[in-house]
Structure 1
Amino acid sequence: MLHAGETPPGLEARAGDARLRFAADADELVGALPGSDVLLTWDFTSDAVKKVWHDDLARSLRWVHTASAGVDRVAFPELLAAPLTLTNSRGVFDRPIAEFVLGAVLAFAKDTARSLALQRDRTWRHRETETIAGRIATVVGSGPIGQAIAQLLAAAGLDVRLVGRRAADGVHAFDELPGLLPDSDFLVLAAPLTGATRGMLHSGTIALLPERARVINIGRGPLVVQDDLTAALASGRIAGAALDVFEVEPLPADSPLWTMENVLISPHMSGDVVGWKDMLVELFVDNLERYRTGRELRNVVDKERGYVSSSGGRA
């Protein structure tokens, strides 16, 4: 069994008799992969696996697990074509991300950023703020994270429309999205990054939003054509954005997004709450025991769709 990145807390003590090989970078990964049957990619921002992959090097692999909900860093064609199982960390981030989204909605409605700026200037300026009750939130992504967001926003009084790949009970199909945008007060992007969703928010779809709309992206940066969104924010075409993910991370220091008063920026941390790494280890250790005993693995990714499309799957 092999791990790439920093040492996950408690993994060595809980891995049983599994033989661990650690690789901190691509060079070390080249030496550690041969003969390994399991690969844990702990650093979800790393492209090391893609950089070093070739079929002979990874011939022994039977299972790859990523410590993230998104699999875009490891879902490259060669790995997807290999006879192995891919799993993710679905379920760990659902509630934390939903709380983050609700916090962003409230921050916009209650003009929190301006209050903090005025406080720093010791300026007393009375204003009226917005209520979120009855506002419309369109949440794109009907997986566990999107569902958790929808439930929490609905509990706070918003009218929520959930959008998924295809229509289902309480879920709009992705191709219905253009018709949902014109009256959306909040557009929340929680979809996996796939060929269908890459660049889904661009100048054309932004033009369908009302000027009062705020965009919240907690999915993946490339869901958005960032230059188009930046232009819309700068011109006042839409009212604001809360962005946790970006096309390039870290966000470059010269990006105009940093200085926009109507933009809230966070460094890809919407799901990272106290204890999140322990929860990631807990999930992996449970799956490792399932793998060793030939039982069904949790969070098996549908390689064609690029996300978990059912509750299980077999190694």
Structure 2
Amino acid sequence: MENVDVIALNSPEEFEAAAPDIEYLIALLPPRGLWEKAPNLKLIQIISTGVDSLLPAPDLSDDVKISNARGIHGTQMAEFALYFMLEFAKNGPRIRRQHKEHEFTMFNPVNLSGSTLGIIGLGAIGEALAERAKALGMRVIATQRTPKPNPHVEKVYPSEQTAKLVEQADYLVLVAPLTDETRGLFDADMIARMKPNAVMVNLSRGGIVDETAIAKALTEGAIKGAAIDVFEQEPLPSDHPLWGVPNTIITPHMAAADDAYIANITKIFAENITRINSGQPLINEVDRYRGY
């Protein structure tokens, strides 16, 4: 980026000191409550798809544009979701246990083909997953705030009909943004609608799922399993009850990561700086009132 001075800020205090000169900001966890200190700010580039780390921001001027990383996570997050589903379908824990114990006993895993995948949030990530899941022979259904036909999805439900999808899904993958509408969506009542053989995969945000309710369902055997990459509190404390819940895979909010991540989001940021100074529409501009 020519004619742009780049500085690294490692704390809210450092941001506050530099704020009067900042025009463009790229961040994962932007500082809250300090936006009035940055009168020259034009652009905030969030390096994740979700912008709940920034919004709501009542003290942020409406003149400041916001962009996210939508579109750069599709491949890696779809692959992570498929990996989690295959772990449960092929009983990865048993395979590893038998290897460790030198036990040569055959058993019958199940196929993803012919099973039903329910995707909560048919955005770029959901579409990437739907395409790959259909190629494996899965029946794919999804929810979307404003339903649109998709060649890889049999049925797209409006968000208010999430329960209809949940009741059908063998695998339930959450890739919706955290908004006022999705916060707490998967409470005890919604989780109770899941099939006894169903698996939940949460790659969205911890606030969408009631962690106490999902832990209870898993402990009681009400559902088959869960793979959880995101949590209400991160890092997940070492003494958190979820660590001890059976039939659970826990990963450290890494499903979106890959070796090209920083390069890809930096390209979007640089292009958006050019666009904002030439009056062009941004890549991935966020509607701050919708939250995505």
TM-score class, shorter-chain normalisation, is over 0.9
Q: Kindly, what percent of the aligned residue pairs are identical?
A: 31
> 2:21 corresponds to which residue?
35
> 1:4 corresponds to which residue?
none
Distance 2:172 2:121 in 1: 11
Give the CA deviation at 1:208. 0.7
Distance 1:22 1:79 in 2: 23
> 2:62 corresponds to which residue?
82
> 1:49 corresponds to which residue?
31
Give the CA deviation at 1:261. 3.9
SS at match of 1:212: coil
Distance 1:130 1:80 in 2: 51
Distance 1:118 1:258 in 2: 22
Give the CA deviation at 1:125. 2.6
Give the CA deviation at 1:227. 0.6
1:269 aligned onto 2:254: yes
Gaps of 5+ in 1: 1-14, 308-315
1:225 aligned onto 2:210: yes
Aligned length: 287
> 1:161 corresponds to which residue?
141
SS at match of 2:58: helix
Distance 1:181 1:80 in 2: 37
> 2:195 corresponds to which residue?
210
Q: Counterpart of 1:63 in structure 2: which amino acid? A: L
> 2:232 corresponds to which residue?
247
SS at match of 1:172: strand
Give the CA deviation at 1:221. 0.8
Q: Counterpart of 1:184 in structure 2: which amino acid? A: A
Whether the 8 Å CA contact 2:56–2:288 is kept in 1: the answer is: no
1:137 aligned onto 2:124: no
> 2:174 corresponds to which residue?
189
Distance 2:260 2:160 in 1: 38
Distance 1:37 1:24 in 2: 17
Whether the 8 Å CA contact 2:35–2:60 is kept in 1: the answer is: no
Residue in structure 2 matching 1:151, options 122, 131, 154? 131
Whether the 8 Å CA contact 1:186–1:215 is kept in 2: the answer is: yes
1:303 aligned onto 2:256: no
Q: Which digits, 9 at most, give the CA deviation of each residue in 1:83-121, with x for residues without a partner?
A: 211101111111110111111111110001221122222
> 1:172 corresponds to which residue?
157
Whether the 8 Å CA contact 2:87–2:93 is kept in 1: the answer is: yes
Gaps of 5+ in 2: 151-155
> 1:8 corresponds to which residue?
none
Give the CA deviation at 1:77. 3.0
Q: Counterpart of 2:43 in structure 1: which amino acid? A: W
Give the CA deviation at 1:244. 0.7
Whether the 8 Å CA contact 2:166–2:193 is kept in 1: the answer is: yes
1:93 aligned onto 2:73: yes
Cα distance 1:159–1:80, how it changes in 2: closer, same or farther (>3 A)? farther
SS at match of 1:196: coil
1:286 aligned onto 2:286: no
Whether the 8 Å CA contact 2:157–2:165 is kept in 1: the answer is: no
> 1:19 corresponds to which residue?
5
Given the two structures, how large is their TM-score scaled by the length of structure 1? 0.87
Whether the 8 Å CA contact 1:54–1:78 is kept in 2: the answer is: no
Mapping for residues 121-132 of structure 1, pairs under 5 Å:
121-132=101-112
SS at match of 2:21: coil
Distance 2:59 2:117 in 1: 36
